[in-house]
Amino acid sequence: MTVSPSLPVRPGADAGVRPERPSVTELRLSAFAGHRNAAFPLGPLTLLAGPSGSGKTTALRAYEALARLGGGARLDEAFPDPHGCVPEQARPDAQSRRGFRLGCTADGPEGPIRLDIAVQAEPELRIVGERLTSGGLTLLETALVDPSRPVVQAAWHTAGASPVTRGPLPDDLLGTALLPLRVAGKTDGQRRVLAAAEQMVVALRSVFACDPRPRRMRAAVPLGSGRLLRGCDNLADVLWRTRTECGRRHAQLVAAVRDGCVGPVADLLSEPAPGGNGQGDAPRAARGVGPGVGHGGSHGGSHGVGHGRGRGSGHGNGPGHGNGPGHGNGPGQGNGTGAGHMLGAGPGLVRAVLDRGDGIRTPLALLGDGELRYLALALVLFTGPGVLEVDPVAEVPAALQTLTVVADGLDRCLDPRQRAQLLGVAARMGERGHIRLVGAVNDASWTAGVPGATVVHLNRERS
C-alpha cells in the first residue's frame, strides 16, 4: 500500500492548531477480512485506488460499520456478515473463537483520539476488547472477563481519589458511545474522557454511504421526507424540497450539472409526473381521511375539495365540503358526503427533469447511467446532514460537524469529463471543511494534480 498526497498538509493541520470540527483522519484494519496491519490516512478528499479484489470495498465497509457503532447501532447491525470480516487464515483458539480487529483515529479540538476494538465473530458475535486513548493515555479499556455473561469489564480514566472507575458494559454496543451515560464528569480526568468520547462519536456519526442506482432514479416517486436515501432512489423528492430552500446551493448544483451533462441545462427541478396520481397530468389535492363527494360530467352540484381532476375519470377520495357548482371533464364518481377541509395540496408522484430552456424539459429517465450517477453525487456534495439520510449529533451545532461521504465505485460509469468535474467539486467542498469524501476507484491516474486529493494505492495482496 502506498499513499500519494497531491498537496502539502493543509494549514491548521499541525499539532499547534487543532481543527474545530471532529473528523476521522485514519482507518486501521489490524486484522479484518483480507487486510492485516493496514492503516489508511483519510483527508478531506481521499481515494482508495486499486484493481478488483484489492480490498477497497472491504475498507469502506469497515469504515461504515465503525460509523454505525458510533451512532449506537448494535454489533449485529453494524456487521450483518461477521464471518466475512474474519481473516481467511485466522485459526480458532482452544475455545473455537475467531474474530477481527479494527479501529480509527478522530482528530479535533481534543487532538488525535484513537479507538481500537476487537470483535469475536465465532462462536458468537460480541465485542471482547475496546481501547480509547489520547496522547498515550488510556481513557477507556474493556475486556471480556466472564464469557458466560453478555458484558465486558470496563475501566475509564478518573484521575480523582481513584485513578480509574470500573463497571460492566454490554458486549454488543460500542463502549465509547455509552460513556456520556456512565461518566459523571466531576474530575478533570472524567471531563477529559467525556470530551474525547464526544469527539470520536461526532466524527463517526456524520457519515453518509452513497451508491447511486440509475435504474431506480429514473422512476417517479411519491413525496416523502425530502431526505436523500443511500441509492438516491428518491432524488426527485429531494429536488422538490431543496430547489426552494437554498437558491445559492441550487445554482451551484445546476452549474455542476451543466458541466457534466450533454446539452444545455438551464435548471434542474422536480415536477408532477404525468399520470403520477392516477388521475391526469395535474397535481391532485392532498388526500384526506374521510369520505368526499366526486363530481361528474357537465355542471352539477357541490363537490369535495379532495377530488382528482384530469383528462379521464375523477374520483373523490378525501373529506370535502360543498363549494358550489363543479365542472367535470369526464365521468366521475363519489364515495359519499362529508364535511371538513383539506390541509394542503401537493402532487402524487414527482419526477426530476432538466430544463433545457425555451420550454423544453428532459426527464431524468432519459439520461444515461453516467449522467445520473454524476448528478446524484454532485447533489450529495452540495447538500448536508439536513438533506441526507444520516443521523448527526443533535446536541452539537451543525457548524461544528463535518459530513463524510463514503462512495464505493466513485468513478463507475463516469466519463473523463464527469470524473474531473466531480473531483473538482469534492475538492472545493473539502476546502471549506464541512464535506469530506472517501471514495473507491479502480484507477487513480486521472486524479493527478487535483488539489487536496490523497490517493491510497492498494494492491491485490492487500496490506
Handedness of CA 414, 213, 231, 456 (dihedral sign): negative
Q: pLDDT tens track of the chain, all 463 residues?
A: 677 655 444 434 444 678 788 999 999 999 999 999 999 999 999 999 999 999 999 999 999 999 999 999 999 999 999 999 999 888 998 888 999 999 999 999 999 999 999 999 999 999 999 999 999 999 999 999 999 999 999 999 998 778 999 999 999 999 999 999 999 888 999 999 999 999 999 999 888 899 999 999 999 999 988 888 999 999 999 999 888 888 888 999 999 999 999 999 999 999 999 875 433 343 433 333 333 444 444 343 434 333 433 333 344 444 444 444 444 444 444 444 333 333 344 558 999 999 999 899 999 999 999 999 999 999 999 886 666 655 555 555 555 668 899 999 999 999 999 999 999 999 998 888 888 999 999 998 888 878 888 999 997 665 5
Alpha carbon distance 303, 349 (integer Å): 24
Query: What's the pLDDT score for residue 383?
Result: 80
Query: What's the pLDDT score for residue 347?
Result: 59
Burial per residue of 425-460, b for 16 or more beta-carbon CB atoms within 10 angstroms, e otherwise: bbbbbbeebbbbbbbbbeebeebeebebbbbbebee
**Global pTM?**
0.80
Query: What's the pLDDT score for residue 409?
Result: 94
Cell of 203: 466524527
* Distances in whole angstroms, Cα of residue 398 to Cα of each of 108, 177, 275, 435: 15, 19, 40, 12
Burial per residue of 13-49, b for 16 or more beta-carbon CB atoms within 10 angstroms, e otherwise: eeeeeebebbbbbebbbbbbbbbeebbbebbbbbbbb
Query: What's the pLDDT score for residue 309?
Result: 39
CB 222 within 8 A of CB 236: no
Contacts of residue 94, defined as CB under 8 A and 6 or more positions apart, other chains included, come to none
Please report, in angstroms and rounded to a whole number, the separation of the first and last CA atoms in the chain.
6
CB 177 within 8 A of CB 70: yes
Query: What's the pLDDT score for residue 143?
Result: 96
Query: What's the pLDDT score for residue 291?
Result: 39
Alpha carbon distance 378, 228 (integer Å): 12
What is 281-334 written as a DSSP string? Answer: SSPEEPP-SS------SEE-S---TTB--SSS-EEB-S-----S--EESS-EE-
SS3 360: strand
Query: What's the pLDDT score for residue 265?
Result: 96
